[in-house]
């Protein structure tokens, strides 16, 4: 458990773990992300649940991250949290369209997205650990 001053570092570390695990999962099971997005796109219930979960996680990140205008990592985490809120709202409001956009973005580049997720994961883990000085 971290102190209030470590919250940005912990959020960054967990973003990194998420990115790394998601990227490895896509490499292990190619097409998994595309299939998941298509399933959400075709199910109103999954769109609603996904939208609520994404909105909630984004709000938690946005509200709990201590914003510090002189700290680049704090600004980045706040912006990411805000984007996640917007993403959740878009899934709730226009989920079929938004998930269709996501599906088109992933159509032919699942390997590239997986590499990006892994690189992002390692970078975020490093930044989080440096911040936490673990």
What would the pLDDT profile of 37-79 be if each residue is shown by its tens digit?
889 999 999 999 999 999 999 999 999 999 889 999 999 999 9
Tell me what pLDDT residue 112 has: 87
User: In terms of pLDDT, which residue wins out, 16 or 34?
Assistant: 16
Q: How confident is the model at residue 94 (pLDDT cuts 50, 70, 90)?
A: very high
Q: How confident is the model at residue 11 (pLDDT cuts 50, 70, 90)?
A: very high
Tell me what pLDDT residue 111 has: 85
Which structure tokens are listed for 8? 């940005």
**pLDDT at residue 3 tops 70:** no
Q: Which of 46, 41, 57, 49 is nearest to 101 (CA)?
A: 41
How far apart (Å, rounded) are the C-alpha atoms in residues 103 and 109? 10
Q: What percent of the chain has pLDDT over 90?
A: 72
Which structure tokens are listed for 22? 């998601």
Which structure tokens are listed for 116? 């990006």
Distance of CA 70 to the CA centre of its chain: 24
SS (H, E, C) the chain: CCCHHHHHHHHHHHHHHHHHHHHHHHHHCCCHHHHHHHHHHCCHHHHHHHHHHHHHHHHHHHHHCCCCCCCHHHHHHHHHHHHHHHHHHHHHHHHHHHHHHHHHHHCCCHHHHHHHHHHHHHHHHHHHHHHHCC
Q: How confident is the model at residue 34 (pLDDT cuts 50, 70, 90)?
A: confident
**pLDDT at residue 1 tops 60:** no
């Amino acid at each position: 458990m971290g102190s209030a001053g470590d919250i940005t570092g912990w959020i960054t570390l967990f973003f990194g773990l998420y990115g790394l695990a998601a990227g490895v999962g896509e490499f292990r099971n190619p097409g998994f992300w595309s299939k998941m997005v298509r399933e959400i796109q075709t199910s109103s219930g999954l769109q609603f649940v996904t939208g609520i979960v994404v909105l909630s996680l984004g709000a938690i990140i946005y509200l709990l991250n201590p914003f510090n205008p002189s700290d680049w990592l704090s600004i980045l985490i706040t912006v990411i949290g805000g984007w996640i809120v917007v993403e959740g709202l878009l899934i709730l409001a226009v989920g079929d369209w938004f998930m269709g956009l996501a599906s088109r973005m992933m159509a032919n580049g699942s390997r590239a997205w997986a590499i990006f997720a892994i690189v992002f994961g390692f970078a975020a883990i490093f930044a989080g650990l440096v911040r936490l000085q673990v």
